[in-house]
Structure 1
């Protein structure tokens, strides 16, 4: 396993949102290790992005980690699901990338135990589904992606990448049209 370096996470947010595609997201828990190739991401550029939690430099207890160095985990609960993001941008510039979907690689039986009897393509094809399947939760908030128990490692290079508007941000004005969602073209684990 070749872990992504600190420098990897220092790329511009929109570039990194594409570069994360094909990387392997890995989570260690007492129950075992799960992993999957990242196949869908969404970029959020806080200061200028009305869809971002940190829009216009809004600083709260929840968003505080977004103001730190890149390569940290930003986890939060949305409705009943925990979601995981990669903090990006320079310190003080609150940007992040939501990991929207993965293609399961390791610990698939454990993923099924956590998610129930689902169709294979529905196991991790959404941001709340993948965190539940992998055991990623709020305790991972602020954790560096490179230290136990949460890692991002080299995986594969996608042949084709598609881009389009982000999902579930209808009340964010023009930002709902920004083409800041990226996915591995044709991958069955992409959420939409």
Structure 2
């Protein structure tokens, strides 16, 4: 299956859940870095009060969400950068935030990129993941996945399977919008230590994989 089909042939929520366990890699030209996706968040476009495209707001900053499914949308908050992929058809501004990966490739280089931080601190959050890849700008924003150094492996033979995937509220959503703040649109591997805000007491054997 190609990216265009994968990111448009289902609801954004279903795609967000299906990404769990898939390999995400980034090649900086010298090093292949990446890991298995363990945490994702869905954003449902114009009706979603937590989405950058709520009310069909459109600007150069969020243009990536309006592109065809499979387009990279990188945005920044302060000095931090975040990696999203647009879903659905052109001008239907939905997308998925990749929040965390369990490192598997290029760990030594990712550790160097994170200033020596290792273990769960390496990639247990969306900004940390981008720092681990050595990304500090929006250079790849608006590029299609096929036309970038990022890769999400859609081969089910290479996918890790979680013993349990939890759907819960998204992180950092304004609680003044209780309906959208509490919608279960964040998906993560139960017990995986690389999931952001996962408490040590909740870690499970084998990191939550089958």
Give the TM interval when normalised to the shorter protein. Answer: over 0.9
* 1:172 CA displacement: 5.4
Instruction: Specify the alignment match of 1:15 in structure 2.
Output: 14
Give the total of aligned pairs. Answer: 190
RMSD value over aligned CA atoms?
A: 1.5
**Structure ranking higher on relative contact order (CA contacts 8 Å, 6+ apart):** 1
Matches within 5 A, 1:115-126: 115-126=114-125
For structure 2, the 5+ residue unaligned runs are 198-210
Give the TM-score normalised by the residue count of structure 2: 0.85
* 1:140 CA displacement: 1.2
- Distance in 1, Cα, partners of 2:176 & 2:34: 32
Instruction: Specify the alignment match of 1:159 in structure 2.
Output: 163
- Distance in 2, Cα, partners of 1:4 & 1:18: 18
1:186 aligns with 2:191: yes
For structure 1, the 5+ residue unaligned runs are none
- Distance in 1, Cα, partners of 2:77 & 2:175: 15
Query: Max radius of gyration: which structure?
Result: 2
- Distance in 1, Cα, partners of 2:175 & 2:40: 20
Contact 2:82/2:97 (8 A) holds in 1: yes
Corresponding residue SS for 2:147: coil
Provide Cα deviations, 1:28-84, integer angstroms capped at 9, x if missing partner: 113411011110001111211111111011001111121111011100111221000
Provide Cα deviations, 1:13-37, integer angstroms capped at 9, x if missing partner: 0001101111111111134110111
Corresponding residue SS for 1:138: coil
- Distance in 2, Cα, partners of 1:144 & 1:176: 30
Instruction: Specify the alignment match of 1:112 in structure 2.
Output: 111
Relative to structure 1, is the Cα distance of residues 164 and 40 closer, same or farther in structure 2, using a 3 angstrom cutoff? same
Corresponding residue SS for 1:132: helix
Matches within 5 A, 1:68-87: 68-87=67-86
Answer 1 or 2: which has greater strand percent: 1
Matches within 5 A, 1:125-140: 125-136=124-135, 137-140=137-140
Contact 1:4/1:146 (8 A) holds in 2: no
Contact 2:100/2:124 (8 A) holds in 1: yes
* 1:153 CA displacement: 0.5
